[in-house]
Structure 1
Amino acid sequence: MVKEKVLDLANHISNKKRGSKNEIKATDPEYMILEPVVTDEMAEVVLCMEIRKKVTAKDVAPLCGKSVERTEELLLELADIGVCFVNEIDGVDTFWYETWVPGIMEMMTNNKKNVEKYPQIAKAFEAYGRVRGPKTAGSFPVGVGLMRVIPIEHAIEGETRRASYEEVSKYLKDNDIFSVSDCSCRTVREVMGEGCGHLKEDMCIQMGHAAEYYIRTKRGRQITREEAFEIIKRAEENGLMHQIPNLDGSGKTHAICNCCGCSCLSLRTASMFINADMVRSNYVSKVDQDKCVACGECVQNCPVNALQLGQKLCSKEPVITEIKRTETPRDTEWGPDKWNPDYRTNRKDVVDTGTSPCKTQCPAHIAIQGYIKLASQGRYREALELIKHENPFPAVCGRICPRKCESECTRGDIDEPVAIDEIKKFIAEQDLNVNHRYVPKIKHDYGKKIAVIGGGPSGLSCAYYLAIQGYKVTVFEKENVLGGMLTLGIPSFRLEKEVVNAEIQILKELGVEFKTGVEVGKDVSLNDLRNQGFEAFYMAIGACTGRKLGIEGEDAKNVITGIDFMRDVNLGKDLKLQGNVIVIGGGNVAIDVARTASRVGDTQVKMYCLESREEMPALPEEIEEALSEDIEINNSWGPKRIIIENGIATGVEFKKCLSVFDESGRFNPTYDENNTAIVKGDTILLSIGQGMHWGNLLKDSKIQLNRNNTVKADAITLQTDEADVFAGGDALTGPKFAIDAIALGKEGAISIHRYVQPGQSLIIGRDRKEYHALNKETLDLQGYDDVKRQSVGHVDGSKSKQTFKDLRGTLTEEQMKKETQRCLSCGATVVDEFLCVGCGQCTTKCKFDAISLVRKYDGEGVAYEDLKPVVIKQVLKRKVKITAKKVTKLFK
């Protein structure tokens, strides 16, 4: 049943008449937000008031036919609901109402009790901008919108034309009373189940009369000016930007909002309706392409996706250096065909013509150009920080990374790829020094308990990023040591345990708790952990079991999987092999197994694999290291049977492999069954792959497994069929490299953060990291230097095979700097100047002084009372432009 007086009030606030063409109806958001909490009697009081005109109960009582006492009661109720402001002026409570937005709708949403009871309040606030927003397209000049972006102040410090009304500090210094509340927009999104995970708590600052009102009605808590400045700083650190209500006149406002592009209902105007003029500051971003190294930090943090990564190398084909819009609402009729309704899920990181191949190819999309440039400048700690935005274990990866970035490095098309991994290794050495290492700042204190199951690279990565967010993380590891396959599967001559432990130590400093020797599913169940208060789980148990061949004789005592063998060696068990050792397999693990076997006794080690030398999955440098240590590699042989005498394996019969893959590229080996060879062996080590061992971990859960025994989970969110369980690393993908597992660990942390916060979406506002590389075939690579790739020097195999120490060196500082100069700096950020709202968040993330805010406009705010003629003038000018544009097209 419609509340007629409340509907009258909705029209009154909107300055509409009942029965008119544009009247507010009972289905409109203006009525819907009032309906659950405003009574007809309350409405009768406000119907006697005028917008932004201050009155007392004594003033209104005779107009609404109620006693002063009853009128005051109703006005105080309205103030508590959020329809009216209340301040004590000259000792008397004084009331007035504002516009819908900014004003009534935010205030009503900040009454948490009512929003919890009546979610339609929040939904109506969201609907208001979505329904009314399109009508504002092109109608407001720059600087005159209902809300206005205020640049991050140090982003405009060097601008000689800046005005005080563009400085956050001006507003804080102009006021003496302050309060802070949760962000109303992010509250709305939470209620709708569309939260984006950005920090909501204590993010919006009220000042002056608004602060007095917020404190009095308990919408916010009182803070000092110093605390307000700290909130501004924390907002900027968390990737948020500043906006102010813009209807008090130039240089005046009563609030500073700290906003994100994925939830803010004001910024939606720019991103969804492509109407940036409605909210923008007077500034736009400019990129100095000579300085830019395409690290992507600005792109990831731009609230409106006005920045994307492109290229700056010369090309035979046109390259996108600026995103230009041929149509804007300034001179074009603007309808749904021009909008971007999916702006919260279709953000682009890269322009259509692509960006640097190294960042694209890296599974974690680390800012490779960025850390190379910082290293060249001797800024090693900053380089370390940049790496750790995507990879918490640079020292580990500097020793075992598959170097996918190098395989695609553009420099390789000239001579040799940049030694990216060696540069990273040099930088990462800083992380091993307690005096120089980088320990990130914890962003917040959520206090919620999260369990990570598996202490390998993916689990540790997830724990690292959750700890930074402010969660109480406990890692459960069934072994007595941490690191997973980093510790138990990789030999020390490739990755010394001190390196792994040094990087794990940083997690301990971040507050991560570790419980080793605890197998979840055996010693404690998922339900036990839920009962202990753990709110979400990340499963990353790793592919920790070796696979068998399925052939005769493989169950003999001296036939061992390579995984079990490496675990025993790394746990320090006293293993002594003698005689002939046969290693079956041709991957990196098989190489590790063979090289380890040569070190644990008086042995002669031979490897046999299906693949030809060119097809071997092991990295070329690993193959060379094995050969240098006198390990014999026999290609194109597959095991037929293991020969047993008296229960002991004495050798392997191999058959010649003719091809490994069929015409469609699937693994489907074919053999010459008549071409066989028997090889004597005292120990047979099987290194043909790894598998999962779940134990009872999944008992009584809804979690499903794939045919290959990996867990089924969403490809983007990593969520399993148990809503509170997420999975990553080898448990999800099967055996891959550590860097792949690390990348998934971060994604798992993002999902878990969103999952445990009420009302958050696992998808909305999420960076999909969909990178693609520039087309190297079109590049003009003439005229570059011929500086040779720097090398740490060859390790003498006769020496390396005598020790478990890692004898590989690190580039000298001089070598490292020479090598950084070989980088072609393929990528650079490009800007959509129209879409850019001039917030300056990009400048706070750039370590290269490559992006700045430049003043382009001269718009000032206009008081509500003076707004109408300004808008009418703009609407008329726009109509003239649209008509002129149509006429021009007719005569083309």
Structure 2
Amino acid sequence: MIFPPDYVCRYDEKIMRLANMIGRKKAGIKPGGKGSLQWEDPEYVILEAGVTEDMADVGLCLGSYEKHSAAEVAQMLNKPEDWCHEELMKLAVYGACFVNNINGIDMFWTETWIPGTMEMIVNNMDNIRKYPIVAYAMEAYGRVRGPLSSGAFPIGVGLMRVIPIESAIHGESRRADYEEISKYLEENTIFSVSNCSCRTDREVMGEGCGHIKEDMCIQMGHAAEYYIRTGRGRQITRDEAYAILRKAEGNGLMHEIPNTDGSGHTHAICNCCGCGCLSLRTAAMFKNVDMVRSNYTAKIDWQKCVACGQCVENCPVNALKLGQKLCSSAPVVKNITTAITPRDEDWTEDKWNPDYRLNRENVVDTGTAPCKTNCPAHIGVQGYIKLAAQGRYVEALDLIKKENPLPAVCGRICNRKCEQACTRGAIDSPVAIDEIKKFVAQLELDKASRVIPEKRFDTNSHIKIAVIGAGPAGLSCAYYLALDGYSVTVFEKEKRLGGMLTLGIPEFRLEKNVVAAEIDIIKEMGVVFQTSVEVGKDITLDALRKQGYAAFYVAIGAGGGRKLGLKGENAAGVYTGVEFLRRINSGEELTLPGKTIVIGGGNVAVDTARVATRCHSESVDIYCLESRSQMPASEEELEEAETEGIRLHNGYGPKAILSENGHVTGIELKKCLSVFDENGRFAPVFDESDTITVAADHIILSVGQTIQWGDLLNGSTACLNANQTIAADAFTYQTGQPDVFTGGDCYTGPRFAIDAIAAGKQGAISIHRFVHPGHSLVLGRDRREYKALNTEAAVIEEYDNTPRQKPDTLDRADVGSFADSRGILTEAQLKAETSRCLGCGAVILDEYMCLGCGQCTTKCKFDAIHLERRYDGEGIEFTELKPVIIKQIVKRKAKIAVKKVKKVFGAV
């Protein structure tokens, strides 16, 4: 048994006898001897932590499942009734027995360990504070006993049992009322809600999974009376119980019930997650799914499935994975159903999955839709394209915002990695995914059509989080923290919100009303913004800690311009690209008469060149190291620049800037022979003898960005890398200062908005876990690892030959205007464009591992996955369970023996 190293066992024979009695061991056996529990067994440990000998004395009089009054116990012990009642109440409050008032008399009795006694002990928060060992004992019980139950319980009679989400079995002709949650709520009149004992347990052990424990488990009838009376739970109404269940379902949780009260009867409903629940560990770790499964199994309609991934990401036991729908000339994984199970195999440790909370997989080995894979935020692209095709624009927007809270922004500036990977691109042109998103996201710009998402949790509002920087990473983190119910304040040192979205991108690419509209939604979610506040200068991290901020998300971006150390680069008329754009976007009226040279090949360089034409430059030329095909700037942007008269010169790098009387007059450039080395790393090689000199009145150096840390990290244990990015864990984004998390350009260096947005959500997930003591930053967390299918092997037998749709250019903007001239697809164009999607991906089900909980069905927007009744198991009373298990064990042993014989003769 594994307990904390400082645990010291108290050997008490009376308490051991009580443990044996609750565990239904034979009466009269020697404590700790043969047939008895042992001193290191969790059943003994969980009692000895807080049960006194007096409490054990009265407890031993109760027997198992036998109700007794204090008067009866007093008679057995020849002790005063008041004293017996007091000790029995102590035992009940501790959790080692039930108490109910029956016909005006307090009646006491004990039940089994799980479900029952152990949860009751752990659900007493005083026990957790005084005796944390009880949590270790409860966890150990399932870890030790779980393997022993493998294959031993027929379907339907396990100690805990999954009950499908009721809406998932709506219309199922073979459903039975004992499989409906509503039956149990309607048949009871008293209800309570308590913390989840499993998640409490996990928190104590430092293994919380991010699913919070508060107000999770519902008790009914005698259990509710007990929980209310002993302070474990608070009384709620039936309507409140329904509301708790609905919120749990929405948050990806499933339902289980204690299954020991007989068919159609239970005293509690648990809202469980696969990563925290100790009952579901039986399925996920030991693969003993029959012990807990419902009578249902999911079934996928591949014709309707669009691989949005919602069912995969919400499946509690990873029974669903994204796969491939397209035919292929190469082998493709189509079946993932577990073939080796405890039903007919000796269930040894090598067949378990002990790392199930770390090794979750979203995709089969042969890959899935490349659009979802290649998107840094892994948005369900196929899903929102299908929803848009069906005219379900609000639902499409909701699906996008599960990963990206700034879809209108990204619809205008995204670098479209999804389109770069699109399978359709091998036929003619990629699906115009970004244009579809832009159309859908127009809903964000109209106040009347905006949807403010419902908060996932009601219990986090007292926790304050500070986000430092209001760029895409900070806005994303703030959005998802607000969605989780936290009190979020964003500190921005500039006067305007949006970071590089407002200060680093010109209006003709991203109009500021678009950014403002999406920030308004975040404000409506309760996020507070403080502008013109530079953390480190105007207020420090320590000062914010004193104000009660529990965690920080640092997302200050890379807002400084970079120079190259060239001779003459400090002359008047030389700007960095970032500085130049900031001044323009801040409203400064700059004019650049004469000739302007821009150095750089990225989108920022092209933006600065296009802005320069709007600042009255006579001519604008771009010089860059890369060939046109190597340039980081998009081809669309290059074409727009050339349309505006900007000339592009590839294969040149700056050597020196020329000046007279302190003002720039030109630039000397040298020929670039290669930009990258054999490993693809930036390592330019020049011919220093091959130079040209170009006259210039203004030079804009758009060759990179710097991070302006100021005094932000002073006194912190967070540290910087050699390139001045902040050091942090690549998965959790936690820095060297435990309460400081980071993301975006200050962590990665300059990248695209969608990269920062994706990092912001992951930062929010980490912060959510961090501020709840005892939660791990990694256990049970989706690692978001995706793999694209082999598009070269895809066999596309037929497809819609509609050409890629292009939005019209708007008449309102002449060339040279700062207005965005790019239009939006018409609804007819949208329908045509969505029809071009090949529908590459689909979901694959492991039918054995499926619990039949219905989460997948409730998350699917396409009617593509249903529950089917496959079994007819029913619960039985705990006292009747033993002969049923013996019969099942005999049957299983026979199956194992037959299978071994067949193996000998080559039949299997």
Fold in common (TM above 0.5)? yes
Provide the C-alpha distance between the structure 2 equivalents of 1:56 and 1:799, rounded to a whole number of angstroms.
86
1:707 and 2:722 matched: yes
1:689 and 2:698 matched: no
In the alignment, residue 644 of structure 1 is paired with which amino acid?
S
Report the equivalent of 2:734. Answer: 719
Shift of 1:782: 2.8
User: Contact conserved, 1:291 with 1:848, CA < 8 A, in 2?
Assistant: yes
Residues 91-240 of structure 1: pairs in structure 2 closer than 5 A:
91-240=104-253
Report the equivalent of 1:552. Answer: 567
Report the equivalent of 1:881. Answer: 895
Shift of 1:800: 4.6
Report the equivalent of 2:423. Answer: 410
1:597 and 2:597 matched: no
Report the equivalent of 1:460. Answer: 475
Deviations 1:298-339 (A, max 9, x none): 111111111111111111234333322221100011011010
Report the equivalent of 2:4. Answer: none
Which of 5, 11, 21 is matched with 2:14 structurally?
5
Provide the C-alpha distance between the structure 1 equivalents of 2:308 and 2:212, rounded to a whole number of angstroms.
24
Residues 317-328 of structure 1: pairs in structure 2 closer than 5 A:
317-328=330-341
Provide the C-alpha distance between the structure 2 equivalents of 1:25 and 1:540, rounded to a whole number of angstroms.
54
Which of 297, 316, 325 is matched with 2:310 structurally?
297
1:383 and 2:396 matched: yes
Provide the C-alpha distance between the structure 2 equivalents of 1:321 and 1:618, rounded to a whole number of angstroms.
39
1:860 and 2:869 matched: no
Provide the C-alpha distance between the structure 1 equivalents of 2:34 and 2:810, rounded to a whole number of angstroms.
84
Residues 336-415 of structure 1: pairs in structure 2 closer than 5 A:
336-415=349-428
Q: Single out whichever of 680-689 and 311-320 deviates more from structure 2.
A: 311-320
Report the equivalent of 2:62. Answer: 49
User: Contact conserved, 2:800 with 2:835, CA < 8 A, in 1?
Assistant: no
Provide the C-alpha distance between the structure 1 equivalents of 2:33 and 2:55, rounded to a whole number of angstroms.
24
Q: Single out whichever of 225-234 and 364-373 deviates more from structure 2.
A: 225-234
Q: Secondary structure at the match of 2:593?
A: strand
Q: Secondary structure at the match of 1:578?
A: coil
Residues 13-92 of structure 1: pairs in structure 2 closer than 5 A:
13-16=22-25, 17-18=29-30, 21-92=34-105
Provide the C-alpha distance between the structure 2 equivalents of 1:632 and 1:795, rounded to a whole number of angstroms.
24
Shift of 1:624: 1.0
Q: Structure 2 stretches of 5 or more lacking a match?
A: 1-9
Which of 654, 657, 660 is matched with 1:639 structurally?
654
Provide the C-alpha distance between the structure 2 equivalents of 1:646 and 1:443, rounded to a whole number of angstroms.
63
Q: Secondary structure at the match of 1:148?
A: strand
Shift of 1:890: 0.7
Provide the C-alpha distance between the structure 2 equivalents of 1:664 and 1:369, rounded to a whole number of angstroms.
34
Residues 197-596 of structure 1: pairs in structure 2 closer than 5 A:
197-445=210-458, 446-447=460-461, 448-596=463-611
Provide the C-alpha distance between the structure 2 equivalents of 1:668 and 1:764, rounded to a whole number of angstroms.
40
Shift of 1:67: 3.0
Shift of 1:44: 2.2
Provide the C-alpha distance between the structure 1 equivalents of 2:394 and 2:108, rounded to a whole number of angstroms.
55
Provide the C-alpha distance between the structure 2 equivalents of 1:20 and 1:306, rounded to a whole number of angstroms.
43
Q: Secondary structure at the match of 1:590?
A: helix
User: Contact conserved, 1:597 with 1:603, CA < 8 A, in 2?
Assistant: no
Which of 807, 812, 815 is matched with 1:792 structurally?
807
Shift of 1:49: 2.5
1:733 and 2:748 matched: yes
Deviations 1:5-60 (A, max 9, x none): 11222222223343554531111111111111101222122223221111112222
Provide the C-alpha distance between the structure 2 equivalents of 1:149 and 1:808, rounded to a whole number of angstroms.
52
User: Contact conserved, 1:182 with 1:204, CA < 8 A, in 2?
Assistant: yes
Q: Secondary structure at the match of 2:86?
A: helix
User: Contact conserved, 1:308 with 1:349, CA < 8 A, in 2?
Assistant: yes
In the alignment, residue 175 of structure 2 is paired with which amino acid?
R
User: Contact conserved, 1:311 with 1:319, CA < 8 A, in 2?
Assistant: yes
Which of 762, 772, 776 is matched with 1:761 structurally?
776
Deviations 1:99-138 (A, max 9, x none): 0000000000111011111110111111110011110000
Deviations 1:422-474 (A, max 9, x none): 11111011111112222211122312111000000000000000001001100
Deviations 1:234-268 (A, max 9, x none): 11111111110000000000011111111001000
Shift of 1:661: 1.4
In the alignment, residue 19 of structure 2 is paired with which amino acid?
A
Q: Single out whichever of 10-19 and 376-385 deviates more from structure 2.
A: 10-19
Residues 667-686 of structure 1: pairs in structure 2 closer than 5 A:
667-686=682-701
Provide the C-alpha distance between the structure 2 equivalents of 1:557 and 1:8, rounded to a whole number of angstroms.
90
Provide the C-alpha distance between the structure 2 equivalents of 1:32 and 1:338, rounded to a whole number of angstroms.
29
Shift of 1:71: 1.8
Deviations 1:664-704 (A, max 9, x none): 22211111111111101101100001111100101111111
Provide the C-alpha distance between the structure 2 equivalents of 1:404 and 1:77, rounded to a whole number of angstroms.
63
Provide the C-alpha distance between the structure 2 equivalents of 1:428 and 1:800, rounded to a whole number of angstroms.
25
Shift of 1:739: 0.2
Deviations 1:634-659 (A, max 9, x none): 11011110012111111000011111
Shift of 1:354: 0.7
User: Contact conserved, 2:481 with 2:764, CA < 8 A, in 1?
Assistant: yes
Shift of 1:603: 2.6
Q: CA separation of 1:560/1:124 partners in 2, compared to 1, >3 Å: closer, same or farther?
A: same
Q: Secondary structure at the match of 1:508?
A: helix
Provide the C-alpha distance between the structure 1 equivalents of 2:230 and 2:86, rounded to a whole number of angstroms.
14
User: Contact conserved, 2:658 with 2:664, CA < 8 A, in 1?
Assistant: yes
Q: Secondary structure at the match of 2:449?
A: coil
User: Contact conserved, 1:311 with 1:826, CA < 8 A, in 2?
Assistant: yes
Report the equivalent of 2:884. Answer: 870
User: Contact conserved, 2:644 with 2:816, CA < 8 A, in 1?
Assistant: no
Q: Secondary structure at the match of 2:334?
A: coil
Q: Structure 1 stretches of 5 or more lacking a match?
A: none
User: Contact conserved, 2:337 with 2:849, CA < 8 A, in 1?
Assistant: no
Q: Secondary structure at the match of 2:263?
A: coil
1:808 and 2:817 matched: no
1:847 and 2:861 matched: yes
Which of 829, 836, 844 is matched with 1:822 structurally?
836
Provide the C-alpha distance between the structure 2 equivalents of 1:87 and 1:164, rounded to a whole number of angstroms.
27
Compute the RMSD of aligned alpha carbons. 1.3
In the alignment, residue 584 of structure 2 is paired with which amino acid?
V
- Normalised by the length of structure 1, the TM-score is 0.99
Q: Secondary structure at the match of 1:685?
A: strand
Q: Secondary structure at the match of 1:244?
A: strand
Provide the C-alpha distance between the structure 1 equivalents of 2:550 and 2:568, rounded to a whole number of angstroms.
47
